[in-house]
Amino acid sequence: MKNPYFGRLLTAMVTPFNADGSVNYKNAADLADWLIAHGSDGLVVCGSTGEAATMTLEERLELFHVILERVNKRVPVVVGAGSNCTADTVKMVKLAEEAGVDGVLIVGPYYNKPTQEGFYQHFAAVAKATMLPIIVYNVPGRTGSNIAPATVARLAADFKNIVAIKEAAGNVGQVNELFTVLPEDFTIYSGDDIELLPFMSVGATGLISVLSNCGGEMLQEIMQAYEDGRVKEAARLNTKMVPLAKAMFMETNPIPVKAATTMVTGIDCGDPRLPLTSLGAEHKEQLAAMLKEYGLMK
């Protein structure tokens, strides 16, 4: 099994919406092209950044088909298929598999706050229901509970199609523990742009990124420098990247990155769906100034 499994840099794609709030499928496909041309080794469709929580099942499936057709196997297409209901997650994964996706990202159940045994049984049920490779997504800041490294190790040992974790707990020590207890070929993806270099230093080999919607090449540059052993250069590049990555969270994700992606790519990504709102005027001005400073827009 290769490591990183789906490539080094996966972009958690924003979902473009029209002015009336409907999904703009053409712009989504155009954005997929742009991302592939600007550093993305793979795409994650309908994750948190893609606003899957406010999309209907029909919209999500249509978006899967549109992106798969446009990408045409140039890079892996991974789709968000998780929910806080195991039965619904299994249903969504089966539909994603029928659509022809390359893998699924499954978030730890939110709101319910499962025990570690509950986490294990949830992911076990998904793994048994599909042949697709699965990325476990640990994001306690959104779900309210943490998937322990021992639980991930147990899943990796029992199910060969659980191949990676997107680790977004913001805890370097936890990544080190994951690296210690997981097989060598199991991929640890950083789930936070700002944690990329610290996480790589203790075993992560890739990134599932928000910033790469508009700045993928700088992230690739950091990872390449680190992998080449140019550690001080990687640190210098990382120091430059972090303020921009933080700016993508000046309001709730994906509010800022949707605005930034529109500015940088020229592809209109629209406003987020309620209950998220458009980026405030002051923040939009600050973000535009930063993007110009970084040379990402004129």
Task: Cite the active site residues.
Answer: 137, 166
- Spatial contact of 122 and 85, defined as CB atoms under 8 Å apart: no
Half-sphere CA count of 131, side-chain side, radius 13 A: 3
- Paired tokens of 6: 């789906």
DSSP code for 23: B
User: Residue 154 in contact with residue 120, Cβ under 8 Å?
Assistant: yes
b/e per residue 161-199 (b: at least 16 CB within 10 A): ebbbbbbbbbbbebbbbbbebbeeebbbbbbbbbbbbbb
Determine the Cα–Cα distance for residues 283 and 263; give it in Å rounded to an integer. Answer: 13
- For 38, the token pair is 């600007």
Helix (H) or strand (E) holding 138: strand 134-138
- At 45, give phi and psi (nearest 5°): -105, 135
- Contact, 110 vs 122, CB < 8 A? no
Per-residue buried b or exposed e for 229-261, using 16+ beta carbons within 10 Å of the residue's own CB: eeeeebeebbeebbebbebbbbbebbbbbbbbb
Listed in sequence order, the DSSP H helices in the chain are 25-37, 57-71, 86-99, 116-129, 140-143, 149-158, 172-181, 196-201, 212-227, 231-247, 255-265, 281-293
Q: Say which amino acid occupies 95.
A: L
